[in-house]
Structure 1
Amino acid sequence: MRSERIRLFQTLPHPCGYYAERTAQNLVIDPAAPQLERIYATALGRGFRRAGGHLYLPHCPQCHACTPCRIEVERFVPDRSQRRCLRRNADLDLREAPAGFSAERHELYARYLRARHPGGGMDEADASDFRRFLTAPWSPTLFMEWRLGGRLLAVAVTDVCLTGVSAVYTFYDPDETARGLGTFAILKQIELAQRRAIPWLYLGFWIARHPKMDYKRRFQPLQIRTVDGWQALDEHAE
């Protein structure tokens, strides 16, 4: 970006992952571009998200529900529910580990997908699926791992750029849902950004009133990217 020439591709229509009756299309930055690592932070600031080695942005002609969102970490203060989540998981040990495949991580990932996406095509992820979706050779990725007595409970795949942290994907033990590990992972990613003086935590896309995506409004102050740039999203906005 800046003065560099970056090719953008538009995907063919494909089934939408959020609304069964809709189709979706994405804009994708040329995955063969040699400067992906250099432009990644700028791409985050323009609403793009990483999946594997691809940087993409929803670009659906008839639908604009997917809205890039980010947390202003310096001003973030956990609410009462989030503070309870932190206390509930205070017995977990954190390790910030290099990204990569391991049999232990893959076993947890596969169990999570079978529980969360049964019969959806994602629930039979093998080792190559793990590597292809969660890692990229150019991405500044670390795995935030939480353990209880040595047992791996959760992994937050986290990309750390100078101007923004991206919460790429979190998977956890499906038998531990009462802990609220998805919320806990975001809270700890906010703490990571605060420790490193990184101003933003990017949460991917917010979809108003969607049962799987609307939870992101609880992390205030939250901004969404519109045609006019980044704007504050009120917690109670429709």
Structure 2
Amino acid sequence: MNTQATPSPQFYLTAPAVCPYLQGEMERKVFTHLVGPRAAEMNDLLTQGGFRRSQNIAYRPACEACRACISVRILANEFQPARSMKRVMAINRDLVSNVFPPQPSTEQFSLFRRYLDSRHQRGGMSDMSALDYAIMVEDTHVNTRLIEYRKREPGAGISAEAKGELLAVALTDVMSDGLSMVYSFFNPEAEKRSLGTYMILDHIQRTQTLGLPHVYLGYWVKGSPKMGYKTRFQPQEHLTPRGWERFVEEYEG
């Protein structure tokens, strides 16, 4: 009988840094590496425990004086779109989505840079190069997919080989209990399309089709305008010290 113990992940703590979401706060993170044959299993467990993935790192906030970052997941099987969300789906009915392995392209990076330059000029990702983008996409040991959203070409119909204008991209992990939206970006000039909302709605539909219960959205920070959109997708659960609990907020859609 093999009595050798299975290696346990090693966790580390970052040094304090300025919080990107709440003014005057400092953030710290606890993290571990997602590598090896058990990476996908570990990613499932850690995501369900409030961690997020970035490349081959899983991390979660470990701030000394603040607990504002709260993990959020949508209950996909119970979700019903609000009126405004139905309008978003209607506006984007001319889009075609295609799923690919995590392989970057120059077209994706060009859209990524436009998005960063418009929406996140002072963020931690603002100086990312083409190589940095490639590493963000490719450096994964879990079940990751790239979803491209393109405008359907006139007369093309619904085609798996869509070659129209690339409007949005989502980097998504496929887990045992749902989909985790690792990172997404879109054409910042297409404001009327509400592409960020559309991609979340599309992930809810994909999760429903897979027969899985959850769409993981990462962290919601109450009081941060950057994060306010996440509570619009009801019903959802928030991770509390007591575990995952249903969160209800009035929203007029």
Contact 1:112–1:172 under 8 Å retained in 2 = yes
Contact 2:20–2:123 under 8 Å retained in 1 = no
CA distance in 1 between counterparts of 2:34 and 2:202 reads 30
Q: Kindly provide the amino acid, as one letter, of the partner of residue 234 in structure 2.
A: Q
Matches within 5 A, 1:188-199: 188-199=202-213
Gaps of 5+ in 1: none
CA distance in 1 between counterparts of 2:17 and 2:135 reads 19
CA distance in 2 between counterparts of 1:226 and 1:27 reads 17
* From 63, 88, 91, the counterpart of 2:91: 88
Instruction: Say whether 1:48 aligns with 2:51.
Output: yes
Gaps of 5+ in 2: 1-5, 154-163
CA distance in 1 between counterparts of 2:226 and 2:140 reads 29
CA distance in 1 between counterparts of 2:190 and 2:90 reads 15
Shift of the alpha carbon at 1:30? Answer: 3.4
* From 7, 12, 15, the counterpart of 1:12: 15
TM-score (norm 1): 0.93
Distance 1:236 1:4, change over 3 A: farther
Matches within 5 A, 1:27-176: 27-31=30-34, 35-120=38-123, 122-148=125-151, 149=153, 150-176=164-190
**Residues 90-139 of structure 1: CA distance to partner in whole angstroms, max 9, x if unpaired?**
01111112212111111100111011112445333212211233443302
CA distance in 2 between counterparts of 1:31 and 1:231 reads 27
SS where residue 212 of structure 1 aligns?
helix
Distance 1:205 1:121, change over 3 A: closer
Contact 2:12–2:31 under 8 Å retained in 1 = yes
**Residues 53-100 of structure 1: CA distance to partner in whole angstroms, max 9, x if unpaired?**
110011101110000010110001111011110001001111112212
Instruction: Say whether 1:22 aligns with 2:25.
Output: yes
Deviates more, 1:147-156 or 1:124-133: 124-133
Contact 1:110–1:124 under 8 Å retained in 2 = no
CA distance in 1 between counterparts of 2:237 and 2:7 reads 27
The percent identity for this pair of structures is 35
* Bigger Rg, which one: 2
